[in-house]
């Protein structure tokens, strides 16, 4: 039996407290509840209130009242101070957030605390600087005796829908710029991982945000998410999740033609040339996929290795896979990877492995479920993969790496771009000219060269093709949550 770390008193109290909707500064109970499962053990963790259309409407009304009242009345500096204080509280309570995400997501506690919570605080601090820097322009129009200027204004009420793979961090990616732009928020976390978002809503009140500025409503996507996307009182939807759900959100948004930004699926190509520094490239390519257990839209799922070093690279990848430790997120002794999010996802991932093998791929590491408790999948490496196999074309969202050989640059660019997705891509080479050329020709929103997964709150992030549209982070994110007004003066 794996030894587990004890729950922090604050976490224990939170789980015993009212796990209700956070609307208008208070808690709201509902008739329906959502059972939250601990994926490390496949057992019930707690029940949270589940929002439906009625509760979505209550939350939008509360957000509208806050936006039109105290939040808009605050100065840019006062809004900045609120966001900064929230960042400080996230840092102070990083251990609490770490345990909450380790419990309902399953990721290792140290990762949830030292990466997800820490980067969430950094993200909030970056956007805390923005409220006093959002400015319009004076325009030298060609109409005589007229003065024209622009105002950059908030959208109003933003509906934000976060995924389960980074419960806190992905929520903050959206919350921070939306707040900095002056909006009020209705946040729907993934039904599998609602705990850290609920706790964040409590901290927002502690940080001094007016009641109703940040409302959090756990709920099933087809109910609460659909109602939020269609609500006429919402001016902007920000969504991270599957491409199929993204399409439904676009359809639901058409009623009032609200703004929509989408960060959707991916099947990233990671290209390793023979001249790469293999001491860095092999572990870099390994963790490009296996980081966060492969449950990332930017996972480097298709690793193209130039033929002269293919066998050497494959040998190194298999050796790394054999050294990875897998275990519960709350294990006293830290593991490299936790479980996948649910039994359904576990069956999906293992089904893809079986599909690849049945189509002719060879499993050289891993290959299926680990143990019979919890939703653990062994880190799996497939070779003998061809570009037309399902494992090479469809997003698996789990710890499965496909390794494919290639011969030359022209060939691999075509193969890398032959996908409906375009969220991220990367390459490993010491040839500067090649790196620059591929950065231009690869069709993806983010290109990593001799690294993988780096993000920063100041640098835009988003996809092309069916990986979505809009850019989170940086100045582009402020634009997502703002609208421009043109003013003419005689």
367: tokens are: 């290959």
| 46 counts as catalytic | no
410: tokens are: 């022209």
| 263 counts as catalytic | yes
Sheet with 482-489, strands from edge to edge, namely 138-139, 147-154, 482-489
Angle between helices 432-441 and 409-417 (to 10 degrees): 30
By the 8 A CB rule, do 66 and 211 touch?
yes
Of the residues 191, 211, 263, 472, only one is catalytic, namely: 263
Of the residues 46, 82, 158, 297, only one is catalytic, namely: 297
By the 8 A CB rule, do 99 and 111 touch?
no
389: tokens are: 């196999």
- Active-site residue set: 263, 297
């Amino acid at each position: 039996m794996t030894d587990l770390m004890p729950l922090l008193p604050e976490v224990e109290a939170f789980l015993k407290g009212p796990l209700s909707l956070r609307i208008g500064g208070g808690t709201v109970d509902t008739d329906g509840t959502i059972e939250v499962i601990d994926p490390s053990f496949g057992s019930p963790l707690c029940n949270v209130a589940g929002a439906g259309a009625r509760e979505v409407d209550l939350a939008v009304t509360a957000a509208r009242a806050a936006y039109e009242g105290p939040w808009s009345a605050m100065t840019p500096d006062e809004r900045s101070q609120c966001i900064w204080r929230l960042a400080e509280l996230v840092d102070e309570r990083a251990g609490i957030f770490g345990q909450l995400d380790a419990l309902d997501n399953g990721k290792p506690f140290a990762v949830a605390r030292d990466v997800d919570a820490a980067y969430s605080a950094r993200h909030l601090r970056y956007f805390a600087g923005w409220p006093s820097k959002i400015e319009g322009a004076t325009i030298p129009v060609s109409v005589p005796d007229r003065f024209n200027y622009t105002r950059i204004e908030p959208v109003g009420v933003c509906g934000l829908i976060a995924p389960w793979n980074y419960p806190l961090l992905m929520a903050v990616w959206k919350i921070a710029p939306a707040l900095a732009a002056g909006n009020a928020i209705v946040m729907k976390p993934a039904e599998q991982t609602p705990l850290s978002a609920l706790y964040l809503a409590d901290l927002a009140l502690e940080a001094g945000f007016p009641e109703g500025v940040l409302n959090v409503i756990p709920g099933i996507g087809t109910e609460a998410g659909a109602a939020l996307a269609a609500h006429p009182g919402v001016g902007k939807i920000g969504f991270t999740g599957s491409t199929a759900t993204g399409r439904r959100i676009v359809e639901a948004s058409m009623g009032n033609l609200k703004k929509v930004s989408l960060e959707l699926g991916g099947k990233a190509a990671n290209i390793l040339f023979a001249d790469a520094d293999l001491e860095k490239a092999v572990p870099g390519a390994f963790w490009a996929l296996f980081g966060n257990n492969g449950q990332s839209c930017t996972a480097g799922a298709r690793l193209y290795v130039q033929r002269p070093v293919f066998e050497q690279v494959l040998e190194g990848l298999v050796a790394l896979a054999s050294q990875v430790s897998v275990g519960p997120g709350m294990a006293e002794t830290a593991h490299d990877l936790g479980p996948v999010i649910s039994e359904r996802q576990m069956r999906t991932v293992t089904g893809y492995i079986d599909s690849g093998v049945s189509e002719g791929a060879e499993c050289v590491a891993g290959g299926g479920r680990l143990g019979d408790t919890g939703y653990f999948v062994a880190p799996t490496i497939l070779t003998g993969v061809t570009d037309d196999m399902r494992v090479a074309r469809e997003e698996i969202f789990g710890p499965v790496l496909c390794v494919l050989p290639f011969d030359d640059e022209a060939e691999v660019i075509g193969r890398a771009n032959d996908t409906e997705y375009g969220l991220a891509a990367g390459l490993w080479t010491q040839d500067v000219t090649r790196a620059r050329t591929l950065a231009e020709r690869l069709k993806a929103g983010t290109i990593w060269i001799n690294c993988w997964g780096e993000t920063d709150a100041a640098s835009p992030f988003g996809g092309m093709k069916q990986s979505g549209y809009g850019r989170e982070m940086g100045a582009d994110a402020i634009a997502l949550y703002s609208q421009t007004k043109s003013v003419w003066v005689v």
